[in-house]
Structure 1
Amino acid sequence: MCVRITQLSTRIEYVTELGAPIDPREWQGGNTIPDFNAAPGRAVLTLHRLSQGKLGSDYLRWGYRTPPAVERDEALEACVLIERAALGRYIRHMWLSGRVLVPINGWYEWTGDNKNRLPWYVRLKNNEPMFLAGVTNYMPGTNQTAERGVAIIADSSISGLIDSGYLRPVVFTSDFALQWLDPRMNRDEAIYLASKYSRPPDDFEWYRVGTAVNKVDLKGELDWAAASALIKPI
């Protein structure tokens, strides 16, 4: 996975699906722009807990770099394995205090070699939104000089849902998604949740889509009808 995602619903639609208790008068954030082909490096909608325990949302860059990676000018990490996120020297603080959700409608995977890459679209069988476990070093309401970004948590124990060789993202139902955001959860509890309660393969369906999705930068270039065609089966 960790290549492209779709975010097609609005903030309030995601939050409604999540079942989070919110007061519409306190909800911050306007309408969102659908993204049919979000890639690492692009800003993606992210849900998090504010300091007072309320649910908030922000657009954060998809991808994270540790301080040494910044110094070496390395590429962004779009996905991080559970073990590395929980125990890694430069990431484990985010596992404790920076657990977030990346709400999506589906993601793309590819099969074949570089000369013949065939894209597939993965979504829930009921086509409802889903919630990916993520971590971030972003702290709302504070001045930060370090790079900010969000990384999606991946599980190495289960491969991609198709024979693609990609890692599988940790995908929660709404109940477990809200638990993931609970700041009272300790490190080991979060490891157990991510390892044991990701949605099973039987919850998903996947199908081939056109190769137009191979182009990374499609945002702003397509109208709704053309963009919608990206996720239609061929």
Structure 2
Amino acid sequence: MKSITSRDNPLYKRLKALAGSTAQQRRSGHALLEGLHLADAYLQAAGQPETCVVTEGVLRHDEAREIVGRIDPARVYTLPDALFGQLSGVVHGVGMVLLVEKPTLVLPERMDQTCMILDGVQDAGNVGSILRSAAAAGIQHVFCVPGTVYAWSSKVLRAGMGAHFLLSIYEDVETADLTSRLNPNVLVTITDSHGAKAIYDADLSGPLAWVMGNEGAGVSRFWRDNAALRVTIPQPGGMESLNVAAAAAVCIFEQCRQQRA
């Protein structure tokens, strides 16, 4: 285990640059995982991080010591609290950050199972929540079309609570390229508040490509024109619409219910 004591340290400068810029994270192909939960989830699913940085104080906690004990000591660095604060995006967070390489994935040639398509979803919290629901429901593939927030940003990672490491997440996927890879039996499915079939009356037992649209504009014209199934979520309370993350959870778990039945 090594110590970093100066803000002029090259590794510290690199981490600070990444922490301050999502664009820099995207260009570098790396992500920062902050906190014990994300660190534990990554170690269980993906193995060793590139680097682990912890505050001197956090090592006094049993859980933190247990997590650090699973990491190659040559990859672990300690930081004074004052320096760590400039890397952290969490108020009163726990002093641990893992630097990891983002997975490089190749689009599957054919998609014959239920998947999730994020069509311009821009709120990081919504994307993270959708990923968490998808992972919980056993969905393996999530496709982000251009205009969707960067799925490996620190805010999305925190909201996803480890879901990233259970999913294959493809970013900047062009819509035409994606539709050409969907098997005909995978029905493109959108939510539509006007004239669509109630989700509880629709047959969701087969594989579906769920399309979740932008928070304001909804699903784009391309997916509206290519949708094979349109469903609506009944709202007896009279609200006009649901948050996109809530709608996604309702949809995919109703599909789970029907498949289980």
TM-score (norm 1): 0.22
Richer in strand (by share): 1
The structure having more radius of gyration, on CA atoms, is 2
Higher RCO (CA-CA < 8 Å; seq separation 6+): 1
TM-score (norm 2): 0.21
